[in-house]
Amino acid sequence: MFLQRIQHYLSLIKFSHTIFALPFALIGLFLAVWYEGKPFEWRILLAVVLCMVFARSAAMAFNRYIDEKFDKLNPRTAVREIPAGIISKPKAALFVAINSILFIVVTWFINPLCFYLSPVALFVILFYSYTKRFTPLCHLVLGLGLALAPIGAYLAVTAYFHWLPLLFSGVVFTWVSGFDILYALQDEEFDRAHQLKSIPVLLGRRGALIASVVLHMITGLLIMSIGYLGALGLFYWIGALVFNALLIYQHTLVKPNDISKVNLAFATTNGIASVIYAVFVLFSFRF
């Protein structure tokens, strides 16, 4: 019973999707340690991982909490834990509160700057859940939330800003925003019927696909800029090549007249891309 309850909460927050941002948090951390020569501390690594887990858990559960009304009406999402009655709204709200508090508490053990900035980060990732109600740029807000991962991890080690982790944050921002537009194609008709905002609702399917391509072209340019400006070696360029190839591949899966492979493009392809890219980036820092 206890294990089943844990499984329900992991499903509520789509824990497997942590794979999108966590590799970039590790990039930010080891960018400071291996690339800039800062001391490595296991407690900082643990704190960064915990911050990622708590922040993302709070954000996802909050999104499910406030979207319960729409999720119940949408056949695609009606089976989710809250509309299906598996997890009650009060319990979901408590889960959000606990994870938010734990996130802030952990930042206190990192350094003062991370602690002072933690409410700002928390606001961004929670605020995203409201944006679909008033702006089609909601995808960019989601991208911004996940883009905090590399710069946040870098700050955990150094307690100061630097342009290189900001470029990695730019990669996450444009990459996530672009693939979230693809994901939103599934709900275009539902969102339009219920006055919800998104790029697919604003531009239609073909226009949304173009917007996603443009964002991912910027992603590719940022990835190449990092390799050049950071004077990174062969390992980096191999990872960059694979990542960009997978970006292109996911756009071959989703077409204006066929979005049946959206989940393959969204979850599988992007999950693989983030892990492979991170592995090669970390090798480029080390060797």
258: phi then psi, degrees, rounded to nearest 5: -160, 105
Q: What's the whole-model pTM score?
A: 0.95
200/71 Cα distance (integer angstroms): 18
Domain 9-286 has CATH 1.10.357.140: yes
CA distances to 78, 155, 267 from 150, in Å: 34, 9, 20
Residue 36 has a pLDDT of 87
Q: What's the pLDDT band for 267 if we cut at 50, 70, 90? A: confident
Q: What is the dihedral of CA 200, 214, 139, 226, to 10 degrees?
A: 170
Give 223-242 pLDDT, tens digit per residue: 999 999 999 999 999 999 99
Give 25-60 pLDDT, tens digit per residue: 999 999 999 988 999 999 999 999 999 999 999 999
Residue 10 has a pLDDT of 78
Domain chopping of the chain, boundaries: 9-286
* Residues 100-121, mean pLDDT to the nearest whole number: 97
Residue 286 has a pLDDT of 82
Tokens 């960018």: give the residue: 31
Selection from 119, 120, 107 nearest residue 153 by Cα:
107
Q: What's the pLDDT band for 2 if we cut at 50, 70, 90? A: confident
CA distances to 145, 217, 281 from 160, in Å: 19, 29, 21
Give 157-201 pLDDT, tens digit per residue: 999 999 999 999 999 999 999 999 999 999 999 999 999 999 999
